[in-house]
Structure 1
Amino acid sequence: MKIKALDVEKLITERLLLIPYTINICEEILNNDYTSLISMGLKTGQNWPDEDVLETLPRIINNLESVEEPTGFESWMIVKKETLEVIGDLGFKGFNFEENNADIGYGIIKEERRKGYAEEAVKELINWASSNGFLKEITAKCLIGNVNSINLLTKFNFLRIKTDHEMIYWTLKNENFVHKKKITER
């Protein structure tokens, strides 16, 4: 089975644009070159890219090199619609064909945390990913002490499947995807 190339330029939420990374964009950012972002009308957010982004970009490039074109099961930039500033990223680490699942991750720059951006972005990406019909599960992991991620994953009905000395591992099965089951209000 092969996943087709992404057929949307971006995903749009109330306050955000989610724009897929390309190899070219990742390589430019690693070289402190923002030509592609500027040509798209985007700006770097305060302190973006941060150390986490710069550390993640080689893995994003590796994931993108394994597909002919972005499929959406790679990484996306999180952009504030109002200012067109890139404030973080989220996405999958590729699609696991054996398990019909994908592992999600996300990060927002420190200055923009606790404003609901991660929740808004994750909800949109889960809705997009689950609309394809073949995704059976989304997995995630977070550090044991990352209370904000624990709360977010719990809010989206992820279930803890195991914990080790450093990480908590999560699963969200198809029947609990956002578009099929309303997020629990807290």
Structure 2
Amino acid sequence: MTNTPLDDIITPRLILRLMSTDVIEACLAGNLRSAGNLLGAGIPKELLEHTSSFRYGQQQLDSDSDYFPWSARAIILPEEKVMIGMIRFHTRPDPEYLHTYVRDAVELGYRIFTGYRRLNYATEALKAMMTWAQGNFGVQKFAVSISPDNTPSLQLVTRLGFIKIGEAMDELDGMEYVFLYIKNS
């Protein structure tokens, strides 16, 4: 059986499942029960604390229908059938805003909910997403932007081999360090 870019990404401990427009709309409406039923996993209320990534994703889809495979994925613990975080690409590869730093890269963003942090779920999800992008689309370069105050994420990307290549002022998040990773074949 051949996997498509829309299929779940399965890791040893996680399922990374695309969040459909219906799931995201239910989340934005605060209806986590309905969203969880559609997703196939319980969604904690903590998701509602930061909905800006959903709004950004909707804007991306409105301007680029081919963005969907790159959009938000729920990070799910299959045994518990619970969403423990989310991960996404900010755009499809080679967005203009990254040209200052690098060409042909794609930027990742992720969040793990309280109670599930520091258990290497983010590491596992990041590696799986990069492998997915490389296997399905030939992407070799990956960027992340992290607040200088987010020590756990700074440590995570450093452990994975990301190199700091710049700094940027984000309208919502303030100062961020920009990191790059080049994945070998």
Name the TM-score, length of structure 2 as normaliser: 0.81
Residue correspondences, number: 169
Shift of 1:70: 5.3
| Percentage of matched positions with identical amino acids | 21
Structure 1 contact 22–64 (Cα < 8 Å) conserved: no
Q: 2:124 aligns with which of 90, 107, 120?
A: 120
Q: How does 1:1-186 map to 2 (within 5 A)?
A: 7-33=5-31, 34-45=33-44, 47-52=45-50, 54-68=51-65, 71-97=68-94, 99-163=103-167, 166-175=175-184, 180=185
After superposition, give the CA deviation of every residue in 1:31-68 in whole Å (9 maximum; x if it has no partner). 012424314431123x431412x232111211222333
Instruction: Find the aligned partners of 1:159 and 1:56 in 2 and give their Cα distance.
Output: 24
Task: Label 1:133 to 1:35 Cα distance change in 2 as closer, same or farther (>3 A).
Answer: closer
**Gaps spanning 5+ residues in structure 1: where?**
1-5, 181-186
Instruction: Find the aligned partners of 2:52 and 2:123 in 1 and give their Cα distance.
Output: 23
**Gaps spanning 5+ residues in structure 2: where?**
96-102, 170-174
SS in 2 for 1:129: helix
Structure with the larger helix share: 2
TM superposition outliers: structure 1 runs of 4+ over 6 Å: none
Structure 1 contact 136–174 (Cα < 8 Å) conserved: yes
Name the TM-score, length of structure 1 as normaliser: 0.80
Please tell me the root mean square deviation across aligned C-alpha atoms, in Å. 2.1
Instruction: Find the aligned partners of 1:50 and 1:35 in 2 and give their Cα distance.
Output: 14
